[in-house]
Amino acid sequence: MADALIRLLRDRRVCVLTGAGISTESGIPDYRGPMAPPRKRPPLQHRDFLTDPSTRARYWARSLLGWPRFRDFAPNAAHDALARWNAVTGVITQNVDRLHHKAGQSNVLELHGALADVTCLTCTAHMHRDELQLLLERNNPHALDWKHTLLADGDAELPDSVVDGFHVPSCLQCGGVLKPDVVFFGDSVPPARLDVAWRHLEEAEALFVIGTSLTVFSGYRFVLRAKERRLPIAVMNVGPTRADADATVKVEAWAAQELPRVVAQLSSGSSSSSRS
């Protein structure tokens, strides 16, 4: 099926949509794939984070432990291959790990934001997550000894009992509530960000979906738009996806293992890089 994928995408400008599965082989657990760890609680809801101080304390306690490891993950062969592929109009990623940037990818749109950025909900001041990490560790030195399991969204699984008494820093500028600059469940992708994603797809002659089941509509909407435009749709994933019925080609494979060969073949003798 990889050969069919190469024939489909050759000499076409391609918009790439990626999900957690492309980062699995970098060591980051995914959400729903065959290697996903079991979840002991439902995903964090946007409304709960805004309205419940205990929810925020639980989130930041888990993030304090998960962030140092999450921050140090490196791109794998799939990220590197995409960064070398000149036919890409843009990469729309549902991931918050910033691995496409680390690989040197241009035209990356982080649909759900990035964990490396933190924003004040009151004054909109920004800080890097590393700066907040220093405050979290200073305020909660006992937390560094907690045992934990890393999760897909950059935090760690912890029992509620150890979160009691956790001190959450406030904005250094105004004392407001700090939030990771990511889209939680129940929130919406900012319109300006979505506009950029649509432009990436409008400039493309095919959509290539990599490493996502597309369970969440924020990613699946691009498949629907590609279908409306009668663009060929290619899928590379381990396990079923919401786009399987609409896919022109589906390749069942881990991206880090198969994508480098596909990109090498597409880049060999392809005229895509010279097209406007």
The type of residue at 244 is D
Q: Is 174 annotated as a binding residue?
A: yes
User: Could you give the CA distance from residue 18 to residue 94 in angstroms, rounded to a whole number?
Assistant: 6
Residue 101 designated active-site = no
Q: Is 120 annotated as a binding residue?
A: yes
Active-site entry in 79, 100, 112, 200: 112
The type of residue at 93 is T
**Contacts of residue 242, Cβ cutoff 8 Å, sequence gap at least 6:** 213, 214, 215, 220, 223
User: Could you give the CA distance from residue 244 to residue 260 in angstroms, rounded to a whole number?
Assistant: 22
Q: Is 171 annotated as a binding residue?
A: yes
Q: Is 15 annotated as a binding residue?
A: no
DSSP helix/strand/coil, 112:
coil
User: Could you give the CA distance from residue 234 to residue 208 in angstroms, rounded to a whole number?
Assistant: 5
Cα angle: 157, vertex 112, 46; to 5 degrees: 60
Nearest of 44, 41, 25 to residue 33 by alpha carbon: 25
Residue 223 dihedral angles phi and psi, to the nearest 5° = -65, -45
**Residues comprising the binding site for Zn(2+)?**
120, 123, 171, 174
Q: Which residues are catalytic?
A: 112
